[in-house]
Amino acid sequence: MIYLKLDGHDFSYEITDVIRLFFGNEEIMLCNDTPPEECRGIFIFSSITHYESSRVFTTRLKVDGNLFKEARFVWDVVPDRQLKKEVKRQVYLVLSGYTGRKLPWGVLTGIRPAKIVHELLTRGFCPDDILEEMRNYYFVAEDKARLALEVANTETAILDRTKEDMISLYIGIPFCTTRCLYCSFTSDPIKKNETIVDKYVETLKTEIMCINEIIREREYRIQSIYIGGGTPTSISATSLKGLLEFIDKSLDLSSLEEYTLEAGRPDSINEEKLEAIRDSRVNRISINPQTMNNKTLKL
Ligand code: SF4
């Protein structure tokens, strides 16, 4: 059992992410009080306090009642949006010290490390400075930092080709066959929502019509469409076919370069759905495994 106590902030989601990087599925209990000395297990205390104009970040790690490590940073000026990052970094450093492990992606737990590289590029960082920032601030391993930079450079080359009047359309289906334990997306099991799925798809069509009005008025051209989720292929073959046909006939797809349908869960695909996809303008199916590790997939 891992006990977690926070003070002066409410970043339990972010800290829990970091704890899971080191301790996997170990149960984490958020507590209001410090557990008694005789309490077995790991106790993590994280706080942000104000001292005059500065902010003090503290992370304390106790194991079986004994203090293992305490870290304290004092920052004079920390923008609010950076507070979460600082808390995560500190917890990462303490847990890395305790476990003796450095993780390949360091403190990063999101799905697009290249997004950080894009932000740094926008702020005028050169490639060497970006690699240094990824290593020293986010604790990312050298090979992963280089990979993120390479991905960002490839994306930049594609984005640079995009004309001002070109847009990309994202269409979300927030249902999946079941909800994965590690999921951070807006998605709910389809069985639990059987009564609203059809209504959702019909409302989606209405919204597509409204968006299409805006596209026409502003004379935008649709360069790409991405139907994601959730798992779009979790809806019935009839609903999927109806939605794809509706998109094909309602939108001007003459400038379309890429049209993706996400089919991330093999248990959501069948022949009928594949036929519906083949008969539409979709030219890319994304079977996007979040992990190749069978043990993780079964969680
Ligand atoms: S398949 Fe993807 S979207 Fe659906 S629950 Fe799993 S991780 Fe979330």
Beta bridge partners of 171: 227
Report residue 43's pLDDT band, with 50, 70 and 90 as the boundaries.
very high
Cα 1 to middle of ligand 1, angstroms: 26
Quick one: which atom of ligand 1 is closest to the CA of 179?
Answer: 5
Cβ-contact 179, 230 below 8 angstroms = no
Report residue 121's pLDDT band, with 50, 70 and 90 as the boundaries.
very high
Q: Which domains does the chain have, with CATH numbers?
A: 2-99 (3.40.50), 113-161 (no CATH), 166-297 (3.30.750)
Res 298 pLDDT > 80: no
263 lines ligand 1 (CB under 6 A): no
User: What 3-state DSSP class applies to 85?
Assistant: helix
pLDDT digits (tens, 9 = 90+) for 172-208: 999 999 888 777 788 899 999 999 999 999 999 999 9
177 lines ligand 1 (CB under 6 A): no
233 lines ligand 1 (CB under 6 A): no
Radius of gyration, CA atoms only, the chain: 23
Best of 111, 175, 176 for a ligand 1 pocket test (most atoms within 8 Å of beta carbon): 176
Cβ-contact 18, 107 below 8 angstroms = yes
Cβ-contact 239, 201 below 8 angstroms = yes
Q: Concatenated DSSP letters for 102-130?
A: --TTTT--SS-HHHHHHHHHHTT--HHHH
Best of 183, 227, 287 for a ligand 1 pocket test (most atoms within 8 Å of beta carbon): 183
Q: What angle do CA 12, 18, 21 make, to 5 degrees?
A: 140
Cα 261 to middle of ligand 1, angstroms: 14
Query: What is the end-to-end Cα distance of the chain in Å, rounded?
Result: 18
- Beta carbons within 8 Å of 183's beta carbon, 6+ residues apart: 176
For the question of an ipTM over 0.95, the answer is: yes
User: What 3-state DSSP class applies to 68?
Assistant: strand
Phi, psi for 284 (deg, rounded to 5): -155, 125
Predicted pLDDT of residue 299:
64
Of residues 250, 159, 172, 167, the one with CA closest to residue 213:
250
- The alpha carbon of 265 is separated from its chain's Cα centroid by a whole number of angstroms, namely 17
174 lines ligand 1 (CB under 6 A): no
What length does the chain have? Answer: 299
Cα 90 to middle of ligand 1, angstroms: 29
pLDDT digits (tens, 9 = 90+) for 221-280: 999 999 998 999 999 999 999 999 999 999 999 999 999 999 988 889 999 999 999 999
C-alpha 67/C-alpha 74 separation (Å) is 21
291 lines ligand 1 (CB under 6 A): no
Cβ-contact 234, 173 below 8 angstroms = yes
Of residues 67, 68, 86, the one with CA closest to residue 76:
86
Helix (H) or strand (E) holding 240: helix 237-250
